[in-house]
Amino acid sequence: MSHRGIKITAQRREERRKQAEERQKLYDALTLQQKLDKLPFDGAKRQRARFEAQQIKAAKQAQSSQQAQQVAATKEVSIKNNK
């Protein structure tokens, strides 16, 4: 029995768990920017900082992968030119 005097049956707990899993799936499908937009403007400082750090990390990884692709393309061109 809960503190409000309402019995919480196993069935009701199962329903709430399924609903929570659905909400979590929807939330996980959001992008980092969408998650940031959902946060309250004047609160959730730690969560906002965490998401912003993840965005910066993702941007750095994207930049390094672009540089790696450019280097690989340059090597291919130089190999073709040397033949």
Whole-angstrom Cα distance, residue 6 to residue 1?
6
pTM of full prediction above 0.75? no
Q: Is the pLDDT of residue 32 over 70?
A: yes
Residue ranges of domains in the chain:
1-30, 43-82
Q: How many CB atoms lie within 10 A of CB 47?
A: 14
Query: What's the pLDDT score for residue 55?
Result: 92
Selection from 17-21, 51-55, 65-69, 78-82 with the highest mean pLDDT: 17-21
Query: What's the pLDDT score for residue 10?
Result: 85
Mean per-residue pLDDT of the chain: 85
| 33 close to 59: Cβ distance less than 8 angstroms | no
Mean pLDDT (whole number) for 22-33: 94
Q: Give the burial string for 52-78 (b: 16+ CB within 10 Å, else e).
A: eeeeeeeeeeeeeeeeeeeeeeeeeee
Whole-angstrom Cα distance, residue 52 to residue 80?
42
Query: What's the pLDDT score for residue 2?
Result: 56
